[in-house]
Amino acid sequence: MLKTQAKLKPVVSVKWLSQHLHDPNLIILDASLMDNKAGLKSEHEGFQIVNARFFDLKNTFCDPDHRISNMIPSAERFTTECRKLGINKNSKIVVYDNFGTYSSPRVWWLFKVMGHENIAVLNGGLPAWINEFCEVEIKESAEVELGDFQASFNSKRVLNAEQILENINTEHRLVIDVRTEDRFFGRVPEPRENLRGGHVPNSINLPFNRVLANGMFLSDKELSVLFKSLPLNNKSLVFCCGSGVSACIGLLACELVLENEKYLYDGSWAEWGQLENYPIE
């Protein structure tokens, strides 16, 4: 009988990755961004973990035809681009980014909604890896053998503006906005042009940096205390942000400690903020 491959936990440590670098079927993805709307800075531009493959969120793993940036790509596009990276159906994937924990949870979520469960985020990302004196190399694009990955999109986990609008009245789900408090309350202009300020009515604010410390996720105990302080009431949870990236930080933190059903409003404020007939607070 074939031995079943152990499924990765949602988040793995630098120590774990350093001990499993040469595991069969392991693929390391670099989801680093050159810039971001959160004002984060990186001191490690131009470097990658050894043998990492660049996962281009901004230009490749998105919907190029959508008017809003970062929207989820089609299953067909996701399949094609993953195969180009040499990703297979049986690959186990660890993803990291250059800001500690920022864009990598978005990649984790993409694979989950595309039907691939065996993926983890490297806790603390590239900064944590370098701080542990682990080996890095100059970024490069190595040739890889075409993979056999096949996406199976679970559309039920992705909500649109109409569903969020309906939920304002039903309140069947709790919407959690991970933008800063100032953006949530419309005290400062949005970093994207032509967007109103404020938030979705009946949503609550949990800035994504509250689930992190020094770019790493809080302990499970600390996360449990944090989420227990929120009015969850056993509802399913919908995460949103500016454009669907940092929302996945909150969603992943929730995944570590809560059983509540979790969804992403993919358009987030980049969409809601420009819909003139949709209410805001």
- Residues 120-126 have a mean pLDDT of 98
Helical packing angle, 247-257 and 220-228, nearest 10°: 100
According to the model, what pLDDT value does residue 6 have?
A: 75
- Encode pLDDT of 128-163 as tens digits: 999 987 777 776 767 899 999 999 999 999 999 999
Catalytic residue, chosen from 82, 241, 248, 254, is 241
| Cα separations in angstroms, 280 against 183, 197, 246, 267 | 12, 8, 20, 15
- Encode pLDDT of 168-197 as tens digits: 999 999 999 999 999 999 999 999 988 999
CA distance 43 to 48: 12
**What CATH number did the domain enclosing 39 receive?**
3.40.250.10
Task: Specify whether 81 is located in the same domain as 93.
Answer: yes
Task: Specify whether 99 is located in the same domain as 195.
Answer: no
* 194 in any annotated domain: yes
CA distance 34 to 222: 31
According to the model, what pLDDT value does residue 135 have?
A: 79
Residue 134 known to be catalytic: no
- Number of folded domains in the chain? 2
Task: Specify whether 133 is located in the same domain as 211.
Answer: no
Domain enclosing residue 27, as ranges: 11-153
Domain-ending residue, one of 153, 181, 211: 153
Domain-ending residue, one of 153, 184, 206: 153
CB atoms within 10 A of CB 189: 11
Task: Specify whether 142 is located in the same domain as 174.
Answer: no
pTM of the predicted structure, to 2 decimals:
0.93
Laid out side by side, the sheet with 53-54 consists of 11-12, 119-122, 92-96, 26-30, 53-54
Task: Specify whether 19 is located in the same domain as 144.
Answer: yes
* 226 in any annotated domain: yes
